[in-house]
Structure 1
Amino acid sequence: MDHGTEIGKEVLGRSRIQTVSPPLWKDYLSLMKPGITLSNLIATVAGFRLAAGGWGQPGTFFWTLAGTFLVVAGGCVWNNVYDRDIDPWMSRTRTRPIPAGRISWRSARWIGWGFSLLGLIILLRCVNVLSAVWGAVGVGWYVFVYTAWFKRKSPWNTVIGGVAGAVPPVIGWTAVTGEMGWPAWVLFFILFFWQPPHFYALALLKEAEYRKAGIPMWPVVRGWRETWEQMAACAWVLLPISGLLPLLGYVSWEYLWVVIPLGFAFGGWIGAGRWVYKRDRWARQVFRLSLVYLLGWMAAVIHFAG
């Protein structure tokens, strides 16, 4: 449900030339955006383990991941369907199977609906009502609020879309507890504030293409300086929020030995962007560092929970 963690050579500024069409199964797999789906599943595992203080009931764990996978994958397919008119304008997306004509958007639409509905049914019937509600919030927000509305209308699209990206660990938490609590909100806001620096780094690298496609990303509308200010603000807000979990008693204090250095490295490198001259290189480094931070934080939650 995260609205765009796609790692590829084209994202990092190096060209990719496609000479041979991939197998059809790879095209269908790419519609589900495996990188996004996997990162969302890991975040769900983090929320589940934090709530359970371990691995909980195997059946609940399995159905939570199965339902979340389908909900996230369905939302990603729908994102491909809806963006088929603007994807050809960007090097990062123009070789996707729908704009390239390898898969019909009509057939993809049914996959998106089918996956999302099946995932919500699994969460409702095999997990609990609240996890299904959060799953519906995540996919609905990603598809209708972000993709179909704010992405093309407002420079706040990244911030608004961050709601969907912050949902997976909450699904994991509610799958165990059946209720919201302070730790669930902490998980939500950690992912919410992580997303703007991550996606704005990508937007800075692809500013010209977003402009050509008519997408009002923050760098396109407000410029580099305001984009950097927002990235820095989110990164430094992220640091104290990520330190709340030991205070709430759900992870051991050793967790801070991982998360605090990661937070200072992330925030410090973004802060240093104010004085850099090679801005593309800096943005590329921030993008990579944001992935290191996310994976490190999730690993710390999973390892030190309980």
Structure 2
Amino acid sequence: MPATGTSSPGVTTSGVPRPGGAGRLAGHVVSRVGYGAMQLERLRGDRAAALALLRRAVELGVDHVDTAQFYGDGLVNDLIREAIRPADGVVVVTKVGADPDPGGPLPLRPAQRPEQLRASVEANLESLGVDQLPVVNLRRLDTPPGLRAQGDQVVDVEDQLAELTAMRDEGKIGAIGLSAVTPAVLRRALPAGIACVQNSYSLVSREDEEMLRLCVAEGIAWVPFFPLGGAFPAMPKVGDEPAVRAAAESLGVTAAQIGLAWLLHHAPNVLLIPGTADAGHLAANLAAGGVRLDGAALAALDAVPSRPADVPLG
């Protein structure tokens, strides 16, 4: 569980300045630039390097880490359990709604039924070695990119939230978030109390502006995944945009840092969780929280066209 007692919202519990400043997530104050742990699976053969990367993230001010039991079939959660201590004050956010499927077109298969959600919560609790998960995101399959539900995996959000709310009442979940949802589904879910929304969103794929405005109005954190696009070959890439490269050259930073900085400037409720398995990229991602974009740069970036982010599965 996160430690308490931070003397200033501008620093973490250990006194490190928060990358990107302070944001709010499920009642916790967190750094606006955190860390998405999915890519830690790339370090499966070098456990020491993976643990060192997580410790370095905490040293640099990360106190919001995003994970799931299905990342590396428990490997990533196991690394987090070993590397991150309660005194670090890190909010570890998990997700449910899928199970590993290494032989599929994506390495996941839907696990949307209420009993599957409960099993996944229990698996996250066990692998992280905690009594309560601060935030659990329900990974729905309503929006691109990628995975879609079929057959008995098409489940009403109300039935799913009833199970997660029961587990929140039992004390196993602190707060509930949603991932890969539409504005209509979010509106249906609001009575359950939603802490955050994770959808695919970046400078080059901004089809969720309506959703973002709704989250701002409701005080819900917006946590975009694929914040730089390009996670799959069919997806547009932020770094390919001339306006992004021009802004990066002007400010002496990387195109990726411009893409992350734009997200932070775009809305006050944005929390970032860029992922990497490289310590240099980690430091660069966190440094994006200090990049300042003036009005002219923002206007040029805002004018970049938005394109769909769907991923063909054929």
Interval containing the TM-score (normalised by the shorter chain) = under 0.3
Query: TM-score, normalised on structure 2?
Result: 0.26
Query: TM-score, normalised on structure 1?
Result: 0.27
- Which is richer in strand? 2
- Which is richer in helix? 1
